[in-house]
Amino acid sequence: MGIILGIDVGGSTTKIVGIKNGECFGMLQVRASDQVTSMYGAIGNLLSKYKLGPEDVVKIYLTGVGASFIDEQIYGIETQKVNELTAIGHGALRLAGLDEALVVSMGTGTAFVRATTTEVKHLGGSGVGGGTILGLASQMLGKNDIDAILALAEGGQLKNVDLFVSDILKNEVQSLPSELTAANFGKIKSTASDSDIALGIINMVFETVGMLAVFALKDDEMKDVILTGTLATFPQVKMVFSQFEKYMGMNFIVPKDAVYATALGAAEV
């Protein structure tokens, strides 16, 4: 049986997975100046790494915003486009080993889909995501590289930028634990360091995403939430989303290889 490739073509980063006999044998991502270059670079890298040639590939599934720029049959191989939201849902369920969940895809923006093994329903999205982190950090910190922003955030203290419930309530209210955020950047100090600000930006994005997930499942018996996308690998994920688990009774899951959920879902549709 030949190789199947699932490819998530982003704005400048392409994620690719290789499937053989129903099992994933390789994953990688490639950055380039444009979508077509990154896609062909990803294919070339994966095939070279596993000593394969185009003749070993029987089908290619494309998804992601960059897939719209590609109309040809790649290397003469049967190429099919897959709805990105469908790919997000199926890929996340496969990685997490679940039959149903709310899937939150955190990329440049954020998408929310309710996924089961038989249906993927788009619940909505938010413009808050990785693009927000990069944009704010560029203006506030002069940093537009995500690795530099993450390195800065490691030494940050939220108490120097955020207003907490304990800052505005003398006595704790049951529904408002004192350690919860009352206002992101609501208490920023003139002495706040770049590290404090970097952490505050990341925290604000994750708290926004977390609350939107809570609202999405407000009237739903489902309580499992799968986090996927590049932002799911950030070290601050556990710190922020553990608060939602503690106070909102939800289960946030970051599966191994969460970055490749959409590419994997494309190959399995």
b or e along 14-38 (b: 16 or more beta carbons within 10 Å of the residue's beta carbon)? bbbbbbeeeebebbbbbeeeebeeb
Burial tier of 96 (Cβ tally within 10 Å: 0-12, 13-18, 19+):
buried
The answer to whether domain 3-81 and domain 88-255 are alike in fold is: yes
Query: d(Cα 15, Cα 260) in Å, to the nearest integer?
Result: 6
In this prediction, residue 65 carries a pLDDT of: 87
**Residue (of 25, 17, 143, 8) closest to 84 by Cα position:** 8
Query: d(Cα 150, Cα 235) in Å, to the nearest integer?
Result: 8
In this prediction, residue 69 carries a pLDDT of: 86
| Domain ranges, ordered by start, for the chain | 3-81, 88-255
Hey, which residues does 173 pair with through a beta bridge? 176
Kindly tell me if the per-residue pLDDT of 226 is higher than 70. Answer: yes
In this prediction, residue 172 carries a pLDDT of: 64
In this prediction, residue 34 carries a pLDDT of: 84
In this prediction, residue 112 carries a pLDDT of: 97
173 secondary structure, DSSP code? B
Query: d(Cα 231, Cα 239) in Å, to the nearest integer?
Result: 13
pLDDT band at 171 (very low <50, low <70, confident <90, very high): low
Query: d(Cα 91, Cα 117) in Å, to the nearest integer?
Result: 10
Kindly tell me if the per-residue pLDDT of 168 is higher than 90. Answer: no
pLDDT band at 173 (very low <50, low <70, confident <90, very high): low
Considering just the CA atoms, what is the radius of gyration of the chain in Å? 20
200 secondary structure, DSSP code? H
Query: d(Cα 40, Cα 44) in Å, to the nearest integer?
Result: 6
pLDDT band at 3 (very low <50, low <70, confident <90, very high): very high
Q: Which CATH class, in words, describes the domain spanning 3-81? A: alpha beta
Least confident of 75-79, 161-165, 176-180: 176-180
pLDDT tens digits, 109-165: 999 999 999 999 999 999 999 999 999 999 999 999 999 999 999 999 999 999 998
**What does pLDDT average to over the chain?**
93
In this prediction, residue 174 carries a pLDDT of: 62
Going 208 to 209 to 214 to 217, the CA torsion angle's sign is: positive
In this prediction, residue 119 carries a pLDDT of: 95
In this prediction, residue 31 carries a pLDDT of: 86
pTM assigned to the model: 0.92
Kindly state the tokens that stand for 257. Answer: 């290889």
**Residue (of 202, 214, 210) closest to 158 by Cα position:** 202
- What's the number of CA atoms in the CB half-sphere (13 Å) around residue 166? 6
The second-level CATH assignment, the architecture, of 88-255 is 2-Layer Sandwich (3.30)
In this prediction, residue 33 carries a pLDDT of: 80
- The mean pLDDT of 18-31, rounded to a whole number, is 93
- The mean pLDDT of 30-52, rounded to a whole number, is 91
Q: Which residue has the tokens 């959920």?
A: 261
- φ, ψ for residue 190, nearest 5 deg: -65, -20
Query: d(Cα 81, Cα 4) in Å, to the nearest integer?
Result: 13
Distances (CA, A) of 237 to 147, 202, 206, 223, 243: 15, 9, 7, 18, 10
Kindly tell me if the per-residue pLDDT of 232 is higher than 90. Answer: yes
